[in-house]
Structure 1
Amino acid sequence: MANTKEIQKRMKSIQDTMKITNAMYMISSSKLRNAKQRLEDTEPYFYSLQMAFNRFLRHVPDTESVFFGYGREQAEEKKRKGYLVITADKGLAGAYNHNVIKKAHELFEQSEHNRLFVVGELGRQYFAREGLDVDTNFQYTVQNPSLHRARVIVERIMELYMQNEVDEIDIVYTKMENAFLVETEVLKLLPLDKEDFESAVPVDVYQEELKAEPSLESVLDHMVPNYVTGFVYGALVESYASEQNSRMMAMEAASKSAKEMLQLLQVEYNRVRQAAITQEITEVISGAKAQKRKKKK
């Protein structure tokens, strides 16, 4: 059985750890609020951009743009796919990184023609350790998602798509459904699906005439990169928020476990201390009796 000093040392160590977990919980809580605000601030712009696609397709429903997959028809098993994987730079976030990496690994190994694009230090380390070929490592932190970084990512994947080196590009990221649930999502970035932008318009509603210079196709060439950039930026912010939420839950669980351990150690400490006191009293009584018997002799 451990002595009181050993138990006190363990209790002090757990208390110090609790200070760290509580601090990490508060930091992640602040970062989560900032990420949510950032996403809300940019939503109107990208919502308007999606509405612009809706208007465009109403006027040019039969467009044969490569952005909508024309000329890229392939059987599913023969498609050359690119996967943009968003992970974290740090651990201590529960199963956040594990779920994303596991899903990306499964998808990547379904074909020999797939390509990986990784954002996040843990993802880079994992795929390097597994010996998997990564097309592009975007060497910056995921702690500060920005439109500039989203544009850099999209420039690379758009370049490969336009050069016909990949037929489809998917993004693997984490979406925060609510404060208690985050889920790994796999969504297609390119080619776009017309069905995602189409909406039913009543017959008696006036539809404006749309003119574009030099052509509607030229306008589309500028709209698509901006739309994909917005989607990637949203995924970066969503993943960042999910990471902070997962870390909050992990730190809360760690603090709860630490409190339970402290309660058990406190009971053990009291038991050991009481046993030590009892032993001292017994030794004193035994010594007193021995002295008494010695005097009688």
Structure 2
Amino acid sequence: MAASLQDIQRRIASTKKTRQITSAMQMVSTSKLSQIQRHGGSYTVYADALHDVVAHLATAHINNVSGTLLEQRHVSKVGFLVLSSDRGLVGGYNSTLLKELMARITERQLTPDQVVILAVGGNGADFFKKRGFDVAYEYRGVSDVPTFTEVREIVKTVTTMYDNEVFDELIVGYQHFVSRISNEVHLEKMLPVSTEDLEESKDDSKYTADYEMEPSAEQILGVVLPQYAESLVYGAIIDAKTAEHAASANAMSSATDNAKEIIDSLGLQFNRARQSAITTEITEITGGMAALD
């Protein structure tokens, strides 16, 4: 019985240490989530303004879009930019995303030869490598609150590969941050840029007058459009990182709660075992005294 009590005590001590670790990790993830939400809020202002400019130029001034990121071409290969995490301890963040990506590939009846994977995050890269897909680009170690300067290599590589016709269409797959307790998978076609989407989202109230442009609207669009495509990719990375921190905070919160339940259960088990041991000792002492009498 004494050995059993010691075993329970060791389990309680071990679980308490685990709870301390998961609680600390939850606080760290929550802090990172707050930081990236502030950063993402300021970036959204720039992204929205850039979107309005591109929408106005692309839909109001351009008739011939050949040779730009707006050009629709025959799709021989589809690029998938997969935004996953480098580490675990994020609940179903990665598994849900990768399952949806595989479902989309199957739905479109794409073979591995028709798919080009661009992986940001180790989980996505390892997943598709094991399944025989061409991982043409891989980036690990994105910081917790990425700046545009840090991920410039990623966005430049993506747009350059599209320009060089490594793939003819780009689908970006990531977990979209909905709230602190909820994420949802987004699979968005980002390249070529859709003129229909731009037309639908254009706010005409911001542009009530005609403008004379120098240089031409076509030349301006040629400069602004790549920046817009880069902003879409960067915005998706920010969104994915926000969702990752939320998933991590939730996973660590659940782990902390589970550890507390285990500690309470072990404590009850320990008290019962100790009570049983005391009862047994009293019985033995009483029996011994009766034998002496």
TM-score, length basis structure 1: 0.88
Q: Does 1:212 align with 2:214?
A: yes
Q: Does 1:187 align with 2:188?
A: yes
Q: Tell me, in whole angstroms, the C-alpha distance in 1 between the residues paired with 2:129 and 2:11.
A: 38
Q: Tell me, in whole angstroms, the C-alpha distance in 1 between the residues paired with 2:18 and 2:140.
A: 32
**Deviation (angstroms), 1:142:** 4.6
Q: Which residue of 1 aligns with 2:291?
A: 290
Q: Tell me, in whole angstroms, the C-alpha distance in 2 between the residues paired with 1:182 and 1:62.
A: 39
- Going from structure 1 to structure 2, the CA distance change for 1:260 and 1:250 (only over 3 Å counts) comes to same
Q: Tell me, in whole angstroms, the C-alpha distance in 2 between the residues paired with 1:104 and 1:56.
A: 33
- Going from structure 1 to structure 2, the CA distance change for 1:125 and 1:58 (only over 3 Å counts) comes to closer
**Deviation (angstroms), 1:129:** 3.1
Secondary structure, counterpart of 2:86 in structure 1: coil
Contact 2:81 2:118 survives alignment (8 Å): yes
User: Alpha-carbon deviations, 1:181-232, whole Å to 9, x = none?
Assistant: 1011001111111122223647xx842313131x322222221221111111
Q: Tell me, in whole angstroms, the C-alpha distance in 2 between the residues paired with 1:88 and 1:171.
A: 15
Contact 2:174 2:187 survives alignment (8 Å): yes
Q: Does 1:95 align with 2:92?
A: yes
Secondary structure, counterpart of 1:135 in structure 2: strand
Q: Which residue of 1 aligns with 2:51?
A: 50
Q: Does 1:40 align with 2:8?
A: no
Identity %: 29
Q: Which residue of 1 aligns with 2:78?
A: 81
Q: Tell me, in whole angstroms, the C-alpha distance in 2 between the residues paired with 1:237 and 1:165.
A: 25
- Going from structure 1 to structure 2, the CA distance change for 1:200 and 1:9 (only over 3 Å counts) comes to closer
Number of aligned residue pairs: give it: 285
Q: Which residue of 2 aligns with 1:157?
A: 158
Q: Tell me, in whole angstroms, the C-alpha distance in 1 between the residues paired with 2:69 and 2:231.
A: 17
Larger Rg: 1
Q: Which residue of 2 aligns with 1:124?
A: 125
Contact 1:83 1:108 survives alignment (8 Å): no
Q: Which residue of 1 aligns with 2:223?
A: 222
User: Alpha-carbon deviations, 1:115-160, whole Å to 9, x = none?
Assistant: 0000012222222333332011124435342212443222222222
Q: Tell me, in whole angstroms, the C-alpha distance in 2 between the residues paired with 1:128 and 1:142.
A: 23
User: Alpha-carbon deviations, 1:69-118, whole Å to 9, x = none?
Assistant: 5351x4xxx54210000011111111001112222333345313110000
User: Alpha-carbon deviations, 1:239-290, whole Å to 9, x = none?
Assistant: 1111111111111111111111112111111110010000000110111111
Secondary structure, counterpart of 2:128 in structure 1: helix
Contact 1:68 1:193 survives alignment (8 Å): no
Q: Does 1:172 align with 2:169?
A: no
Q: Which residue of 2 aligns with 1:146?
A: 147
Contact 1:171 1:189 survives alignment (8 Å): yes
Contact 2:86 2:140 survives alignment (8 Å): no
Q: Which residue of 2 aligns with 1:295?
A: none
